[in-house]
Amino acid sequence: MKASTPSPQRIALLGAGAWGSTLALLAQARGHWVQVWDRRKGWDLREVVRGSDIIISAVSMAGVRPVVEAVRQVGIPPRAILVSATKGLDPLQLLTPAQIWAATFPTHPLVVLSGPNLAAEIRQGLPAAAVVASRNPEAAVQVQHALASERFRLYTSSDPLGVELGGILKNVIAIAVGVCDALQLGTNARAALVTRGLAEMIRVGSRLGARPETFNGLSGLGDLLATCHSPLSRNYRVGYGLGQGKPLGQVLAEIEGTAEGVYTAPVVVQIAAQHGIQVPITQEVHWLLQGQTTPAAALSRLMERQLTSE
């Protein structure tokens, strides 16, 4: 079924990076009136969000709290739908981006947008799909129809936490897969790592209240496969560089944009410790990022773990 032509809406896009710019292009192609805000250029946030029907946040995780506070100060229309498209975790309170938005704007409908969406491919006009999830089904459908097109298919979900965590947790696994490929460990090792990485994502998500089946969808397995199989993925490139023996600082300097998995790994380790969750892959990635282990040593520990059932 083709996406219907929506009524033109006023959409504010917060964040002018690769993903934010891509979402802006998708919205403009649907005939909406779109305004983009870039905090680095000092643009007037009040003017950007004024009268908006939908406000999409696509800033990096480090920018979420400052942007939320800035939006709170200028105010937003009472019926505006908030959409979170950031894939990271807050290291201060161990919250997801959507949870930070919800705490500040509890009366506004909140939608999470996530999926296997490499921005460069979408800008080339290549087909892609994603999920818009919300506890407010009407809000999810409104965002779905606002952004969906013949090249960008959107599905709705009623599990925003699961959809959001899928996009967050897979970044850490992608770093591990990048290391695996750099070490030329082969297809068997890669398949095992991706599969056990998904199991690790489901353990964390389920313990935090997400539905396990959500991780088998686009925002979990789908995003994991895309991120672990493409050199366009910044997180995969971080792992690949570390696997080649490069220091983390050099790897990050060679990558344009933010590799959220670098900052997500220590937060996931902390959450796992609090809840008693086994996250061996994430733990090894964290130690590797901290310079506390080597790729070879990390592999040895993963292979030597106590045998158990799947």
Amino acid of residue 63:
G
Where are the strands (E) in the chain, listed by range? 10-14, 33-37, 54-57, 81-84, 110-114, 128-133, 152-157
Say which residue the tokens 């967050």 belong to: 168
Catalytic position from the list 2, 41, 87, 170: 170
CA distance 300 to 1: 49
Q: Mark out the alpha helices in 93-136 (DSSP H runs).
A: 97-104, 119-123
Q: Order across the sheet with 33-37: list the strands.
A: 33-37, 10-14, 54-57, 81-84, 110-114, 128-133, 152-157
246 a catalytic residue:
no
- What lies within 8 Å, CB to CB, of 172 at 6+ separation is 235, 261, 264, 265, 268, 281, 282, 285
CA distance 160 to 173: 21
CA distance 112 to 163: 7
**Total residue length of the chain:** 310
CA distance 205 to 219: 12
Confirm if 131 and 155 have CB atoms less than 8 A apart.
Answer: yes
- CA dist list (Å): 97 to 57, 84, 113, 301: 9, 7, 11, 33
CA distance 4 to 103: 33
Annotated active-site positions, please? 170
